[in-house]
Amino acid sequence: MAKPTQTPATAASPDPAAPKKRRMKDLRKQPGFDTLAWVCLFFLYAPIVVLIVFSFNDNRSVVKWTEFSLRWYKAAFENDGIREATMVSLQVAVVAMVFSTIFATMAALATTRVRPFKGQTMAYAVINQPLMVPEIVTAVALLALFGLIKQSTGVTGIGYLMVAHTVFCIPFAYMPIRARLEDMNLTLEQAAADLYATPVQVFRKVTMPLMAPGIVAGAMLAFVVSLDDVIITLLVAGPGETTLPVYILTQIRRGITPEINAVSTVLLGLSVVLVSIFFLIGNKKRA
């Protein structure tokens, strides 16, 4: 007796018990998505546009336009208070950038170039602690700690502000460096070791050049974060250690002037340039 043959229709019939695939919906095609996106972009960038436009206003009023002028940029450049605050900001930001990048590089190597170990998740949490804890909490904690140190040793100075900025900037420098190390292939390092290169030579001639884009990106990100910080600086800075953001804040309490608009526009331009370079380096390293 011949066995019944399976028809093509029966063979192709779907299994009722098999899970059905859900079709993903494009969020951009949802009703009102475009309108909501444009509204968000307007409220996000409209104040910045107003700030930039009125920084070139010849009138002292920040709400009434008269004519185009670079008067307030010249006034800001000739202002001794702004120049002193700028120098303090640059000194603190450069020191914080250098040391936070060094510590972040060491931390990234210690958490990615080793076998998984017990407590590795805790190590990630400790390194990224300044990102998870509110900045005001970190500022108050640093203020209390530095107060005890000053009382015990009698040592004062701008070094405390530099240490505070360095600690706060470490996780910002750590993220791109760690991401770069995790994306790197170990083949070249293993090949160098097979060719009798010492660990120091492998790091100096192979690992370091490959992770350089991540280090540069982390350094620039740390510099921008330090340059723009206000909360930690307000609580930790001592007499004569006024940074540019803090100076702008104190001047705003007396009333907004086009001179403040000009300084803010320069800070904005510097931040945009550095962040743009950061993203360009990030895209380059992924290529």
User: What is the value of pTM for the model shown?
Assistant: 0.77
The token pair at 240 is 């004569």
The token pair at 36 is 């909501």
Backbone angles phi, psi at 68, to 5 degrees: -70, 140
Contact criterion met (CB below 8 Å) for 169 and 226: yes
For the cut 90, the answer to whether the pLDDT of residue 203 exceeds it is no
Q: Once rounded to an integer, what is the mean pLDDT over residues 11-17?
A: 53
Distance CA 185, CA 189 (A): 8
pLDDT tens digit string along 3-13?
Answer: 555 555 454 55
Per the model's pLDDT, the better-predicted residue between 185 and 273 turns out to be 273
pLDDT tens digit string along 120-170?
Answer: 778 888 888 878 888 899 899 999 999 999 999 988 889 999 999 999 999
**3-state secondary structure string across 136-196:** HHHHHHHHHHHHHHHHHHCCCCCHHHHHHHHHHHHHHHHHHHHHHHHHCCCHHHHHHHHCC
Q: Does domain 71-286 have CATH number 2.60.120.280?
A: no
For the cut 80, the answer to whether the pLDDT of residue 191 exceeds it is yes
For the cut 60, the answer to whether the pLDDT of residue 272 exceeds it is yes
pLDDT band at 285 (very low <50, low <70, confident <90, very high): low
* Of the listed ranges 20-34, 127-141, 187-201, 250-264, the one predicted with least confidence: 20-34
* Of the listed ranges 54-63, 95-104, 148-157, the one predicted with least confidence: 54-63
Q: How many Cβ atoms are within 10 Å of 236's Cβ, its own excluded? A: 25
Share of the chain above pLDDT 70, in %: 87
CA 57 to chain centre: 32
For the cut 90, the answer to whether the pLDDT of residue 24 exceeds it is no
For the cut 60, the answer to whether the pLDDT of residue 59 exceeds it is yes
pLDDT band at 99 (very low <50, low <70, confident <90, very high): very high
In the chain, where the domains are located? 71-286
